[in-house]
Amino acid sequence: MALSSPSIFSTRSVYRLNPLLFSQHRIKTSISLWKFNKFNPNRYISAAASSENGVFTSPETEKAFDFSSEERIYNWWDSQGYFKPKIDQGGDPFVISMPPPNVTGSLHMGHAMFVTLEDIMVRYNRMKGRPTLWLPGTDHAGIATQLVVERMLASEGIKRVELGRDEFTKRVWEWKAKYGGTITEQIKRLGASCDWSREHFTLDEQLSRAVVEAFNRLHEKGLIYQGSYMVNWSPSLQTAVSDLEVEYSEEPGMLYYIKYRVAGGSRDDFMTIATTRPETLFGDVAIAVNPEDQRYSKYIGRQAIVPMTYGRHVPIIADRYVDKEFGTGVLKISPGHDHNDYLLARKLGLPILNVMNKDGTLNEVAGLYSGMDRFEARKKLWLELEETGLAVKKEPHTSRIPRSQRGGEVIEPLVSKQWFVTMEPLAEKALHAVQKGQLTIIPDRFEKIYNHWLSNIKDWCISRQLWWGHRIPVWYIVGKDCEEDYIVARSSEEALGKAREKYGYDVEIYQDPDVLDTWFSRVLKSNKRRKIELRLLIVIFDGLMISTSGLQGGALFLMLHFIIP
């Protein structure tokens, strides 16, 4: 196999990652797509080495490997246009859009694996004569990049808020220009046969226009809406984060048992509730028991007094959701700070009471605890419960704690006003694509996971309270009588024009300060003819992504490969 032209196994990935990628397991799960049942990579490595008259030394020898030759040959391949598709050569095109790695990052073994496997598929189809395109790019990585730059500024004694949004964004662009190309160069050193003339960055002007256009079209279709719902809130970053950016771990803690007295009853009329988060009791809106639990049936329909709230009463209700065998069989419902409580409250029509500020401190609803950190409030509250005789006991308990993937702090479930994409109609398209045979899943046993995930999908929170990213193309009207009104537009000029048509020439507007979730731009594809497609990407586990179209009907991909780590 001559090295004068790109071939399926002549990349750096084979030389450097051979022990990882060409194990028997990898071959069976990845290479079997092409029926290479008796594949021996060393055969090709040796042939490649000898074809260059010893410029490359096979890993089977003890001689040093001259990596500079790799770079020289790779650059020659690229300069000769070997990685660009030949549109006029006929045949069905084969296209892979590289999942854009974060601009802040450096390659790890997971990147190396997906780059190598995609490169194998690309080179194989190119060798078969198909017009082949591997589209590279990098992601602006909203939270990750902002966090990196904030830490850099902090080392200089500078806070983001001191700079202001425009100056901070300028600093981020400067950082990106200086450090943002590291991962791209590493991908090139792996030998990835991408068409680098088409490289994109998710904040490039063309993609930014596509983001705005997609938001407008989805809003026009009624698929984007604004509302107050439960989200994962990062008190440190002070933004909503996605489920994918939350990591759970089993951590030791305490389970607190607290007395809730029954209003109008004797001193013996109380209900004991077990909770891992006593500080959320200020947000209690009801006490629930199972209707078949005879221990508490006499209290159903009465009122309970929430401790440390100066006598605030909440109803005692019955619902089969409550497990009478779990804990004390009594559930305090704090829908502002628990996902399950939130769903139960919505089902029962209970109010939502938020007791937390955006920075993780308690708000004015907590009375004397207002302004106190949530964990400090927990300690102080328990001491006061003990003093008042309302503390029953506390015992060691292991809980599943959600932490921010970026900052490491404990995530707070919080009801917050955000922008969402309605996912059900998009998920239906993805399901139908498989059912109708328009989309093939390889291996087919993963079709069950695919169907389960899409059948239980929830709406996607797309807004982030950051400064780095695509600003949400929404403008609000300034004025007492129209402050809740907003205009979705493609530019501030268009928004102002629409506002003047409705409210008069003297109207003032301001743009939503939030930015879009980075995945909103990651899943966009735009070309020079201004065709824009929005792909629904659902990550079930590392290496698995599902894609369908939200703006142009039908499935965008004919085949879905499940990479098994």
Using one digit for the tens of pLDDT, what is the confidence trace for 414-463? 999 999 999 898 888 888 888 988 888 878 888 898 899 889 888 999 99
pLDDT for 58: 53
pLDDT for 419: 97
Closest CA to 119 of 196, 192, 206: 192
Q: What CATH superfamily is the domain 205-243+413-561?
A: HUPs (3.40.50.620)
- The pTM for the full model equals 0.80
Query: Are 512 and 212 in contact, with CB atoms under 8 Å apart?
Result: no
Q: What is the helix, strand, coil percentage profile of the chain, to 5?
A: 35, 25, 40
Which residues in 303-390 belong to E strands, given as ranges?
Answer: 303-305, 313-318, 330-333
Whole-angstrom distance, CA of residue 404 vs CA of residue 318? 35
pLDDT for 301: 96
Closest CA to 545 of 100, 82, 14: 100
Mean pLDDT by 10 residues, the chain (565 residues): 35 36 33 38 40 48 70 91 83 85 84 91 92 91 91 93 95 90 90 94 90 93 94 94 92 96 94 96 97 95 96 96 91 96 95 96 96 97 97 95 92 96 88 86 85 89 96 89 83 95 89 93 57 40 37 49 46
Whether the bond between 19 and the residue before it is cis, its omega within 30 degrees of 0, is no
- Tell me 108's DSSP state: -
The CA distances from residue 522 to 46, 110, 134, 338, in Å, are: 39, 18, 16, 30
CA atoms within a 13 Å half-sphere pointing along the CA-CB vector of 414: 24
Coil vs helix vs strand at 46: helix
Residue 48's Cβ-count burial label (10 Å; 0-12, 13-18, 19+) is buried
Domain 246-410 falls under CATH 3.90.740.10 = yes
Pairing state between β 545-546 and 486-488? unpaired
pLDDT for 560: 54
Residue boundaries of the structural domains of the chain:
12-143+178-201, 205-243+413-561, 246-410
Whole-angstrom distance, CA of residue 425 vs CA of residue 320? 31
Equal fold, 205-243+413-561 vs 246-410: no
pLDDT for 90: 72
Sign of torsion, CA 272 274 278 280? negative
pLDDT for 291: 96
pLDDT for 216: 95
